[in-house]
Amino acid sequence: MKNFYTAYYAAIEHSQAYHLFCERVFGIDLGQHGFADVQQLDLLMQLAGLDAAKCALDLGCGDGRIAEYISDRTGASITGLDYVAAAIRSAQMRTQAKAARLEFFVGDINQLELPRDAFDVILSIDTLYFSEDYAATIRALKDALKPGGQIALLFSHGREPWVPKEQFPRETLPPDKTPLAQALGANGLTFRTWDLTQRDYELAIRRKQVLAELEAQFDAEGTRFIYDNRLGDANGIAQAIEDGLHARYLYQAVMARQ
Ligand SMILES: C[S@@+](CC[C@H](N)C(=O)[O-])C[C@H]1O[C@@H](n2cnc3c(N)ncnc32)[C@H](O)[C@@H]1O
């Protein structure tokens, strides 16, 4: 997976096709490789209550454009972490003039070494899937939160195309039953959720349409692997939602004040 993301971030830096794809699907090009459009990001920012006095961690920040967008909009200081070193370098170089409120470092979701009691907000935008142990990752994030701080996550859960329909555990789809809900509960965290499944479906359908429009441009650029990758996720998610086997939620877990 790391090789894929290294190639992905190198390619999107110069890809006009992917720039158009993100603008047409997500409403803004922030180099998204998740499923968050501008509406979802704005909801996340609003719920997280970010402002110039707050500091946040963006877990799995990629080339940092989402962190930069959120910091520009809210004034919050944001630290981005990702395991693709070149994407982190690119984020650092692009945001040099904003270094007072944006910093980026290379780190691994599965070996988190975060300062204790350091962040008001931790954002995970389509990144928890890469944790090998959700409960352990949530524990590490919780330890890095200040008292009264919060973790806000955009998280999808559903049947992958290679899993037979009858084998997918449907009972894990409600927001309080997903693997993420279990991990939050195992860490003593209560949470609120917002159901974004309908929006996720609309965006998957839009990805298919926009990719069809841009296919020749991806081919001409030599970035077909991104086209194939995004078409695969759009087809898989659209089908799973039509089968009632996929859900997307925003989770907000707030730490008690001590
Ligand atoms: C699905 S993308 C989401 C990126 C971005 N948050 C977004 O919404 O577009 C997953 C991100 O997590 C990063 N990632 C995957 N596994 C990781 C790991 N073990 N440690 C740190 N970052 C990881 C990838 O490099 C990529 O930037």
Q: Average pLDDT over the chain, rounded to whole? A: 97
Tell me which residue has its CA closest to atom 13 in ligand 1. Answer: 60
Across 131-147, average pLDDT: 97
113 in contact with ligand 1, CB cutoff 6 A: no
Distance in Å, CA 258 to ligand 1 centroid: 32
Does residue 32 surpass a pLDDT of 70? yes
What's residue 50's pLDDT?
96
Among 6, 33, 63, 141, name the best residue to mutate to test ligand 1's pocket (greatest count of ligand atoms within 8 A of Cβ).
33
- Residue 258 has a pLDDT of 65
Residue 111 has pLDDT above 90, yes or no: yes
Tokens of 190: 């209560």
Q: What residues contact residue 169 under an 8 Å CB cut-off, 6+ apart?
A: none
Pairing of strands 55-59, 77-82: parallel
Could you give the count of Cα atoms lying within 13 Å of 99 in the half-sphere of its Cβ? 7
Give the pLDDT mean for 120-130.
98
pLDDT at 255 over 90: no
The predicted structure's pLDDT at residue 83: 98
Cβ–ligand 1 distance for 83 under 6 Å, the answer yes
Quick check: 253 pLDDT over 80?
yes
In this structure, which residue's CA is closest to atom 16 in ligand 1?
130
pTM of the model as a whole? 0.97
Label each residue of the chain as H, E or C: CHHHHHHHHHHHCCCHHHHHHHHHHHCCCCCCCCCCCHHHHHHHHHHHCCCCCCEEEEECCCCCHHHHHHHHHHCCEEEEEECCHHHHHHHHHHCHHHCCCEEEEECCHHHCCCCCCCEEEEEEECCHHHCCCHHHHHHHHHHHEEEEEEEEEEEEEECCCCCCHHHCCHHHCCCCCCHHHHHHHHCCCCEEEEECHHHHHHHHHHHHHHHHHHHHHHHHHCCHHHHHHHHHHHHHHHHHHHCCCEEEEEEEEECCCC
Rounded to the nearest angstrom, the distance between the alpha carbon of 61 and the centre of ligand 1 is 6
**Ligand 1, atom nearest to 84 Cα:** 25
- Count other Cβ atoms within 10 Å, centred on residue 216: 11
Average pLDDT over residues 209-230: 98
pLDDT in tens, 193-204: 999 999 999 999
CATH code for the domain defined by 38-198+230-254: 3.40.50.150
pLDDT per residue over 66-76, tens digit each?
999 999 999 99
CA of 1 to the centre of ligand 1 (A): 10
What are the sequence ranges of the domains in the chain? 38-198+230-254
pLDDT (average), residues 118-141? 98
The mean pLDDT value for 128-133 works out to 98
pLDDT the model gives residue 53: 97
Closest CA to 200 of 37, 19, 60: 37
Using CA positions, which residue lies closest to atom 8 of ligand 1?
A: 34
Candidate of 5, 59, 131, 133 to mutate for ligand 1, largest count of ligand atoms within 8 Å of Cβ: 5
Does the Cβ of 230 fall within 6 Å of ligand 1? no
Burial of 99 (C-beta count, 10 Å sphere; 0-12/13-18/19+): exposed
The predicted-structure confidence for 75-105, as pLDDT tens digits, reads as follows 999 999 999 999 999 999 999 999 999 999 9
Residue 215's pLDDT band (cuts 50, 70, 90): very high
- Cα of 127 from ligand 1 centre, angstroms: 5
